[in-house]
């Protein structure tokens, strides 16, 4: 079965999903086994990507993870150059919060030669960057401005515009290492507006924040930094 149909089926059963984000540039591939062992048992997907990793690096990391885990690996690419056949799927991200054509369509066209004949499952994703309280890598690399968290209406209309244009997922992003994670009111507003699954990430460092995101309506939460640094707070 496809990744997307599994995500949809889990959500329709009322389950909440958890993704770990691994940055190939920071990850030590020879420590993959130990890393995976200390992850919570309820992790559903491994996301692999970063702002400046290469396809080679990304491929090596995916292989290292797959040696020690049966979880599906989904690419979360910072650029078309990170696309590797080693993974199972790819978040095909359109940065709808921004107005940089390179991240709305440019990178997408550049990725076609690699994706066209690949077996990767393509997951069209409405990627929405909100202000996380400090400049994020997404903001820096894409040269776009995040949407202020008080702009509830703009955020939910952006998400809905994504759904109307065929995106299969919404990803509300506060940026890796955000000081301020995506607020509950944004999550609940977007969740009630769209009918596609809602992913949330950026700055989530504790079980309490994770639960808050789920309670607000997040279907899938992405945690990178806190697991990477082994600083996730269990309460």
* Binding-site sequence positions: 23, 51, 171-177, 202-203, 224-225
Instruction: Name residues whose C-beta falls within 8 Å of residue 121's C-beta, 6 or more positions apart in sequence.
Output: 2, 3, 4, 88, 89, 90
Between 190 and 226, name the residue whose CB sits nearer to ligand 1GP: 226
Annotated binding site for Mg(2+): 23, 51
Residue 50 binds to ligand 1GP (criterion: CB under 6 A)? no
CA 9 from chain centre, in angstroms, equals 19
According to CB under 6 A, which one of 93, 129, 190, 223 is a site residue for ligand 1GP?
Answer: 223
Annotated binding site for sn-glycerol 1-phosphate: 171-177, 202-203, 224-225
Residue 202 binds to ligand 1GP (criterion: CB under 6 A)? yes
Q: What is the rounded CA–CA span in Å between residue 11 and residue 54?
A: 33
The token pair at 228 is 């990477």
Residue 21 binds to ligand 1GP (criterion: CB under 6 A)? yes
Q: Which letter, b or e, does each residue of 183-218 get, where b requires 16 or more Cβ atoms within 10 Å of its Cβ? A: bbebbbbbbebbebbbbbbbbbbbeebbebbbebbb
Closest contact distance (angstroms) between CB of 211 and ligand 1GP is 15
Between 117 and 142, name the residue whose CB sits nearer to ligand 1GP: 142
Residue 218 binds to ligand 1GP (criterion: CB under 6 A)? no
When CB distances to ligand 1GP are compared, the closest residue is 201
Closest contact distance (angstroms) between CB of 178 and ligand 1GP is 6
DSSP strands (E only) in the chain: 17-22, 45-48, 73-75, 89-95, 121-129, 169-173, 198-201, 220-223
Q: Which letter, b or e, does each residue of 18-30 get, where b requires 16 or more Cβ atoms within 10 Å of its Cβ? A: bbbbbbbeebeee
Binding mask 180-199 for ligand 1GP (x = CB under 6 A): --------------------
Place of tokens 């799927």: 89
Residue 146 binds to ligand 1GP (criterion: CB under 6 A)? no
Site for ligand 1GP, residues 163 to 182, rule: CB under 6 A = 173, 176-178
Place of tokens 């008080």: 150
Binding site for ligand 1GP (CB under 6 A): 21, 173, 176-178, 201-204, 222-226
């Amino acid at each position: 079965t496809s990744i997307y149909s599994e995500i949809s089926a889990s959500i329709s059963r009322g389950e909440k999903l958890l993704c770990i984000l691994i940055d190939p540039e920071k990850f030590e591939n020879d420590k993959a086994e130990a890393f995976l062992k200390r992850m919570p048992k309820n992790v559903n997907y491994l996301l692999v990507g970063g702002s400046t990793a290469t396809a080679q690096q990304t491929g090596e990391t995916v292989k290292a993870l797959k040696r020690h885990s049966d979880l599906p690996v989904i690419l979360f690419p910072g650029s078309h150059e990170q696309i590797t056949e080693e993974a199972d799927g790819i978040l095909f991200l359109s940065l709808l919060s921004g107005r940089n054509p390179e991240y709305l369509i440019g990178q997408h066209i550049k990725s076609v030669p690699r994706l066209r004949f690949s077996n990767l499952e393509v997951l069209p994703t409405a990627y929405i960057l909100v202000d996380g309280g400090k400049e994020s890598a997404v903001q820096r690399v894409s040269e776009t401005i995040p949407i202020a968290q008080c702009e509830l209406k703009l955020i939910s209309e952006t998400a809905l515009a994504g759904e109307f244009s065929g995106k299969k997922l919404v990803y509300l992003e506060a940026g890796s290492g955000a000081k301020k994670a995506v607020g509950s009111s944004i999550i609940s507003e977007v969740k009630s507006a769209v009918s596609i699954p809602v992913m949330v990430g950026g700055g989530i460092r504790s079980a309490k924040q994770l639960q808050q995101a789920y309670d607000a309506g997040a279907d899938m939460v992405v945690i990178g930094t806190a697991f990477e640094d082994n600083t996730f707070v269990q309460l």
